[in-house]
Homo-oligomer: A and B are copies of this chain.
């Protein structure tokens, strides 16, 4: 497989137009699209080929309401850390699309996967969590290419979410994802637009 300018342009456009979506339309995502996204997620890198990500599709209204309540509490506590103009700015930010997103996915990392037989993670158990993060990113890009938006919610209490969803003890909460059709598109992060944190380039340093 020899990649050319068209591949690079397409990848760059998907990366450029991927956003942390918080504004969703309520119309559903087609089930065959979800099945496709589920398969694409498995193309993510994972140490030892362990694929330690675990995905719960949260549909029960009472569970969704409980997740939302947990977000509200964690967000209020986070808001209390700021003061003055910054507190006001924080409260003005929309930080999750839990109300309208048609698809909710709770993603966990299996910290004791049988797959991979422990390879590559003896000195860095962290690699399991990295694999899950990369799988989420893979899903994010694949969703974007399907003209869908994905929002990653991390203003949650991990242990409360695990209790709520009754997950096995070896599963560690990684993120809660909102997925659906975005209300609008943008090539610039919302936090940049809102003046909370501008884009800053990262320079590589030589050693």
Measured in the bound complex, the distance between the Cα atoms of B133 and A14 in whole Å is 18
Residue of chain B at shortest CB distance from A58: B207
Enumerate A9-56 residues with CB–CB distance to B below 8 Å: 10-18, 20, 34, 38-45, 47-51, 53-56
Contact (A10, B6) CB under 8 Å given A124-B156, A191-B49, A207-B56: yes
Point out the residues of chain B lying under 8 angstroms from A11, CB to CB.
10-11, 14, 141-142, 145
Contact of B134 with A205 in the complex, beta carbons under 8 Å = no
Which has the most chain B C-beta neighbours within 10 Å: A42, A54, A202? Answer: A202
Measured in the bound complex, the distance between the Cα atoms of B157 and A133 in whole Å is 21
A86 at the interface (CB under 8 A from B): yes
Contact of B137 with A48 in the complex, beta carbons under 8 Å = no
Point out the residues of chain B lying under 8 angstroms from A51, CB to CB.
199-200, 202
Q: Which of B50, B77, B142 contacts A197 (CB 8 A)?
A: B50
- 17 sampled A-B residue pairs with Cβ under 8 A: A3-B144, A8-B146, A10-B10, A15-B43, A38-B204, A39-B201, A42-B199, A42-B201, A48-B191, A49-B197, A57-B205, A59-B206, A59-B207, A117-B196, A123-B155, A130-B130, A165-B207
